[in-house]
């Protein structure tokens, strides 16, 4: 252990404050874990701050089976994975054009994508609802997938285009002189060289799309299509007086993004900082 | 002939993403402007009614409550999480025992869905069974804990607290990246010249972090105007609209009351509130472009 840090009493004080703050930050998670294994009667009767009378996994089972999470959670993946793949594919095409070609509207198109990514979603809500309905995609997975794919293009193109500009031009020039087609350059040279950025963006996008709630409730109505976020809101209405079940459901809904974060933390952080500091 | 084809290549790459983006994002934005001038229930054809929606909006009490709530949210967001995030970044930017664990604890809320955070905090705020009131009563700080989500004066701040809990880690990440990009020689030079830690922070580190701060503030403003999930899950804007924000107000008018033309006019107001910050962001990106 590195004890070099504690060279002044000031530092020790800072460290103690840090420990306290971290503990405070973790309280909601700890509360969630403790609640999920207790019964509501026990908590109400003995107070939250008491030793559990019994420990149960029944809340998880209840949320998973009768609460419908066994439907909602797979739905989340059915919506997230295609959206993620499509948006990464399309944005890497667009970003390549914007990063590597000089043409008249290059900058204008780039700014269009960046501006769109910053829009408040509410500005798009009603027309997208109408458009989805018009295309016959309302209340289908594809309506939601189409929107996520489209909206996330802004952020992905912004990030990828900036990253692709840092790839040395000589590699691409050499390929061109050797008679390599543009599509092959994109797929066989640009994509492999962009993998670190793609990984970072994919990690972030997975979390964002997976955690979306607003668009799920705007574009879906059927209970059996809902992703976990909208499902949890339903669960809340259904188990309004049984908080341990609701909290257990919320914890289940967190597992996928938490796993992605724990294993791909480096990419996650890189993604967040990729665009903001230069 | 060959030359024309060469010019077309970038457009071949762009055509699909661009069309999708225009149809799902840029086009709808403009269509919302039109919808805000109509009376529309979501089913029939919208009928043009001029500025009547806006007239009604400017006389609607809930609109002003929501607007002020958004402003309170905004002001809290560009101060508290920014200061806390920066402080954490400063502390965690050096080798410190347990660095990884500390960082991860503060990142974690960011990974949770807002819905999940809203539910767990909603439970902690529970008047009788929740952790917070149990703690207050057990330690004797209060005889009876307040109704965090049912008291009209408290409810918005309770929700903002949750949003802050989530935002601090994000700001910290951005500042940590910013701190890494500062040349350590500059700081050494300051120390050699006899600057105290405090002076170094105010005179050197903070000015050098200015670009990060601009981005952090713009992102915080945009996030605070987009705020929807937490309010929707925790209170639905209640009690008596005390925690309503524009996004929720708009959703309820549009999808619960079927006044979609009216909802569109709220969205347009939100758009104009964001516009200036979108421009600041674009301007920063533009500046980077010119430095290339």
Indicate whether B93 belongs to any domain: yes
DSSP A44-75: HHH-SSS--S---SHHHHHHHHTS-HHHHHHH
A99 to chain B: nearest residue by CA? B10
Count of domains for chain A? 1
| Residue B5: per-residue pLDDT | 66
Indicate whether A181 belongs to any domain: yes
Are A5 and B96 within 8 A, CB to CB?
Answer: yes
Residue B58: strand, helix, or coil: coil
The predicted-structure confidence for A201-260, as pLDDT tens digits, reads as follows 999 999 999 999 999 999 999 999 999 999 999 998 888 778 899 999 999 999 999 998
pLDDT band at A278 (very low <50, low <70, confident <90, very high): very low
Indicate whether B246 belongs to any domain: yes
Are A247 and B123 within 8 A, CB to CB?
Answer: yes
Taking Cα atoms as reference points, which of B51, B54, B33 lies closest to residue B268?
A: B33
Give me the total of CB pairs closer than 8 Å, taking one residue from chain A and one from chain B: 295
B33 to chain A: nearest residue by CA? A123
Are A243 and B126 within 8 A, CB to CB?
Answer: yes
Are A109 and B18 within 8 A, CB to CB?
Answer: yes
Whether the predicted pLDDT of A50 surpasses 50: yes
Whether the predicted pLDDT of B124 surpasses 80: yes
A145 to chain B: nearest residue by CA? B24
A218 to chain B: nearest residue by CA? B255
The predicted-structure confidence for B25-61, as pLDDT tens digits, reads as follows 999 999 999 999 999 998 888 899 989 999 999 999 9
Could you tell me the CATH number of the domain that includes residue A119?
1.10.3720.10
Indicate whether A217 belongs to any domain: yes
| Residue B86: per-residue pLDDT | 96
The vertex-B172 CA angle with A35 and B108, nearest 5°, equals 25
Q: Of the given ranges (A27-31, A45-49, A152-156, A207-211), which has the lowest mean pLDDT? A: A45-49
Mean pLDDT (whole number) for B126-154: 88
Mutate to test the interface with B, among A44, A110, A123, A166 (most CBs of B within 10 A): A123
| Residue A266: per-residue pLDDT | 83
CA distance B93 to chain A (A): 12
Are A114 and B11 within 8 A, CB to CB?
Answer: no
Indicate whether B29 belongs to any domain: yes
Indicate whether B138 belongs to any domain: no
CA-to-CA dists, residue A229 to A121, A246, B169, B233, angstroms: 17, 12, 22, 10
Are A35 and B123 within 8 A, CB to CB?
Answer: yes
B288 to chain A: nearest residue by CA? A278
Could you tell me the CATH number of the domain that includes residue B255?
1.10.3720.10
Residue A24 CB partners (closer than 8 Å, separation 6+): none
Indicate whether B212 belongs to any domain: yes
CA distance A144 to chain B (A): 11
B18 to chain A: nearest residue by CA? A94
CA distance B20 to chain A (A): 6
Indicate whether A56 belongs to any domain: no
Which residues between 119 and 178 in chain A have a beta carbon less than 8 angstroms from any beta carbon of chain B? 119-131, 146-147, 149-151, 153-154, 157, 165
CA distance A129 to chain B (A): 9
The vertex-A129 CA angle with A124 and A135, nearest 5°, equals 120
Q: What's the ipTM?
A: 0.90
Write out the residue range of the structural domain in which residue B25 sits.
16-116+153-291
Indicate whether A101 belongs to any domain: yes
Helix or strand (DSSP H, E) at B48: strand B47-48
Please state at what angle helix A243-263 crosses helix B114-124, rounded to 10 degrees. 140
Residue numbers in B near A2 (CB within 8 A): 95-97
Indicate whether A167 belongs to any domain: yes
- Choose between A32 and A269: higher pLDDT: A32
Query: Which phi and psi angles does B65 have, rounded to 5°?
Result: -60, -50
Q: Is A72 part of the contact surface with chain B (CB cutoff 8 Å)?
A: no
Indicate whether B39 belongs to any domain: yes
First to last CA, chain A: 34
pLDDT band at B2 (very low <50, low <70, confident <90, very high): very low
Taking Cα atoms as reference points, which of B260, B238, B258 lies closest to residue B155?
A: B238
CA atoms of B35 and B51, how far apart (whole Å) = 11
Indicate whether B9 belongs to any domain: no
The predicted-structure confidence for A65-108, as pLDDT tens digits, reads as follows 888 999 999 999 999 999 999 999 999 999 999 998 888 889 89
CA distance A195 to chain B (A): 19
| Residue B233: per-residue pLDDT | 93
Q: Of the given ranges (A177-186, B20-29, B107-116), which has the lowest mean pLDDT? A: A177-186
Mean pLDDT (whole number) for B254-262: 94
Are A124 and B28 within 8 A, CB to CB?
Answer: yes
Place of tokens 């809904």: A253
| Residue A277: per-residue pLDDT | 46
Please state at what angle helix B260-291 crosses helix A106-118, rounded to 10 degrees. 130
Share of residues in chain B with pLDDT > 70 (%): 97
Write out the residue range of the structural domain in which residue A206 sits.
63-274
- Average pLDDT for chain A: 90
B17 and A107 Cβ atoms separated by less than 8 Å:
no
- Average pLDDT for chain B: 90
Share of residues in chain A with pLDDT > 90 (%): 56
Question: Which of A2-11, A123-132, B127-136 shows the highest mean pLDDT?
Answer: A123-132
Whether the predicted pLDDT of B6 surpasses 80: no
Question: In this complex, which of B114, B174, B219 lies closest to A277 when CB atoms are compared?
Answer: B174
Place of tokens 């900058």: A107
Question: Which of A139-143, B178-182, B235-239 shows the highest mean pLDDT?
Answer: A139-143
Q: Is A2 part of the contact surface with chain B (CB cutoff 8 Å)?
A: yes
| Residue B193: per-residue pLDDT | 86
The predicted-structure confidence for B160-206, as pLDDT tens digits, reads as follows 999 999 999 999 999 998 998 888 888 888 888 888 888 888 988 99
Indicate whether B74 belongs to any domain: yes
Indicate whether A20 belongs to any domain: no
Count of domains for chain B? 1
Indicate whether A5 belongs to any domain: no
Indicate whether A18 belongs to any domain: no
Beta bridge partners of B47: B39
């Amino acid at each position: 252990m590195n004890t070099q840090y504690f060279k002044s009493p000031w530092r020790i004080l800072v460290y103690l404050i840090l420990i306290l703050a971290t503990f405070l930050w973790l309280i909601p998670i700890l509360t969630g874990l403790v609640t999920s294994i207790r019964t509501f009667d026990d908590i109400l009767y003995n107070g939250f701050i008491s030793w559990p009378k019994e420990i149960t996994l029944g809340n998880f089972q209840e949320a998973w089976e009768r609460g419908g999470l066994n439907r909602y959670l797979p739905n989340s993946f059915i919506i997230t994975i295609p959206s993620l793949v499509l948006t990464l594919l399309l944005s890497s095409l667009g970003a390549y054009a914007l990063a590597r070609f000089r043409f008249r509207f290059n900058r204008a198109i780039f700014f269009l994508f960046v501006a769109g990514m910053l829009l408040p979603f509410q500005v798009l809500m009603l027309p997208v609802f109408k458009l989805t309905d018009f295309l016959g995609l309302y209340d289908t997975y594809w309506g939601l997938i189409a929107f996520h794919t489209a909206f996330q293009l802004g952020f992905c193109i912004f990030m990828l285009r900036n990253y692709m500009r840092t790839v040395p031009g000589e590699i691409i020039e050499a390929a061109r002189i050797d008679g390599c087609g543009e599509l092959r350059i994109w797929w066989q040279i640009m994509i492999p060289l962009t993998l670190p950025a793609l990984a970072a963006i994919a990690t972030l996008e997975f979390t964002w799309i997976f955690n979306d709630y607003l668009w799920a409730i705007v574009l879906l109505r059927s209970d059996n299509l809902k992703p976990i976020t909208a499902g949890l809101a339903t669960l809340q209405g259904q188990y309004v007086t049984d908080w341990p079940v609701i909290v257990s459901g919320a914890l289940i809904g967190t597992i996928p993004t938490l796993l992605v974060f724990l294993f791909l933390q480096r990419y996650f952080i890189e993604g967040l900082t990729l665009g903001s500091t230069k | 002939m060959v030359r024309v084809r060469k010019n077309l290549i970038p457009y071949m790459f762009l055509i699909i993403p661009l069309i999708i983006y225009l149809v799902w994002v840029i086009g709808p934005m403009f269509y919302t402007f039109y919808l805000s001038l109509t009376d529309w229930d979501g089913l029939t054809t919208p009928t043009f009614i001029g500025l009547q929606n806006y007239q009604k909006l400017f006389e609607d009490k809930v609109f002003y409550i929501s607007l002020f709530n958004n402003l309170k949210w905004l002001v809290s967001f560009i101060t508290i999480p920014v200061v806390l995030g920066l402080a954490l970044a400063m502390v965690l930017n050096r080798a410190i025992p347990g660095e990884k664990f500390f960082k991860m604890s503060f990142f974690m809320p960011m990974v949770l869905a807002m819905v999940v955070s809203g539910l767990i905090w909603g439970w902690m705020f529970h008047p009788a069974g929740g952790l917070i009131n149990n703690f207050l009563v057990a330690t004797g700080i209060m005889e009876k804990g307040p109704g965090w989500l049912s008291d009209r004066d408290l409810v918005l701040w309770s929700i903002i607290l949750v949003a802050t809990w989530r935002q601090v880690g994000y700001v910290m990440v951005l500042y940590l990246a910013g701190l890494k990009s500062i040349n350590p020689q500059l700081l050494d030079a300051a120390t050699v010249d006899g600057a105290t830690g405090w002076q170094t922070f105010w005179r050197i580190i903070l000015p050098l972090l200015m670009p990060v701060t601009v981005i952090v503030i713009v992102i915080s403003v945009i996030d605070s105007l987009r705020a929807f999930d937490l309010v929707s899950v925790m209170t639905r804007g209640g009690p008596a609209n005390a925690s309503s924000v524009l996004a929720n107000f708009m959703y309820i008018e549009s999808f619960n009351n079927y006044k979609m033309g009216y909802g569109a006019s709220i969205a347009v107001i939100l758009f104009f509130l964001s516009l200036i910050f979108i421009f600041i962001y674009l301007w920063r990106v533009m500046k980077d472009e010119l430095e290339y």
